[in-house]
Amino acid sequence: MKLDEGRKVALVTGAGSGIGKATATALAADGYAVGLLGNNLEDVIPLAGELKALGFIATALKADISVESEMRKAVEHLIAGFGRLDVVIANAGINGVWAPIDDLKPDEWDRTFAVNLRGTYLTIHTTVPHLKTVGGGAIVVVSSINGTRTFTTPGATAYTATKAGQVAMVQQLALELARHGIRINAVCPGEIETNIDDNTSLRGEEETAIPVEWPEGQVPITGGKPGRSEDVAAAILFLVSDKARHITGSPLWIDGGQGLLR
């Protein structure tokens, strides 16, 4: 479809639920045409329908972010439909298997790295040429407090390593992409009400757990309650806006103080 002149386009991976869904909704409400990318179309078609019913512009896209051919096809489909790309939210990821290091299987390690690190790389790799075409843009990678501020999640070695790697990628690329007018930052959520636990397998917790004692739970600012996806989406919306025009290569922790406690 032909967009109104000046309307910007955003791609959100893992857009079907949680932080991705909240971010896509916030971007659409802010005037962006939004590409909703999910591992299955069934994950994102309902949100596309909801946004269109509200008068927003959205399209559903399918790709396994760890597969180059699928990512290229999805991005090409987005460009064919909307004609440009200005903002990329690399949100899709998995918790994977959390287990003692001597129990964690190589294929479990590889799968977490394939989705979280290779997937983030492919998301950026396939979209940056289009950001360059429009003369700049903004990328936000959804990392975690794990591996960047805390290291106490039981058995989460693979997950933690990928999240640390994402922040390192952001900081490296901030300098590389600056000459093209492209900003890239990371958000690092703590405990957030999402369904990511659905793709978590936890084994041997008693061997790796680090006890945390706090009178009101592990999120001090909320009396122990998890944050909301909308809290992260609001920070992402700021980071891709002109209000954040002088911010790049920065991790932003959105954890209610949890990382300081743990």
Q: Is the pLDDT of residue 150 over 70?
A: yes
Q: Alpha-carbon dihedral of residues 20, 235, 261, 210, nearest 10 degrees?
A: 20
Q: How many CA atoms lie within 13 A of 97 on its CB side?
A: 16
Q: What's the confidence (pLDDT) of residue 216? A: 57
4-31: pLDDT as tens digits: 878 999 999 999 999 999 999 999 999 9
Residue 226 identity: P
What 3-state DSSP class applies to 235? helix
Rounded to the nearest integer, the mean pLDDT of the chain is 91
- Strands across the sheet containing 137-142: 58-62, 33-38, 9-13, 87-90, 137-142, 182-189, 251-254
CA atoms within 13 A on the CB side of 212: 19
> What architecture is domain 9-261?
3-Layer(aba) Sandwich (3.40)
Enumerate residues 6+ apart whose C-beta is below 8 A from 106. Answer: none
The crossing angle, in degrees rounded to 10, of helices 229-240 and 18-29 is 50
For the cut 50, the answer to whether the pLDDT of residue 214 exceeds it is no
Position 202 confidence tier, pLDDT thresholds 50, 70, 90: low
Between CA 29 and CA 219 the distance in angstroms is: 29
- pLDDT digits over 26-70, tens only? 999 999 999 999 999 999 999 999 999 999 999 999 999 999 999
Residue 213 is predicted with a pLDDT of: 52
Catalytic residue, candidates 122, 159, 189, 218: 159
| Residue 188 pLDDT > 90 | yes
Q: Tell me if residue 254 falls in helix, strand or coil.
A: strand
To the query of whether residue 159 is one of the catalytic residues in this protein, the response is yes
Q: What is the pLDDT of residues 152-170, one digit of tens each?
A: 888 999 999 999 999 999 9
Domain spans in the chain, listed from the N-terminal domain onward: 9-261
Show the tokens assigned to 106.
């190589």
pLDDT of 183 higher than 70: yes
Alpha-carbon distance values, 260 to 6, 152, 217, 234 (Å): 42, 12, 13, 22
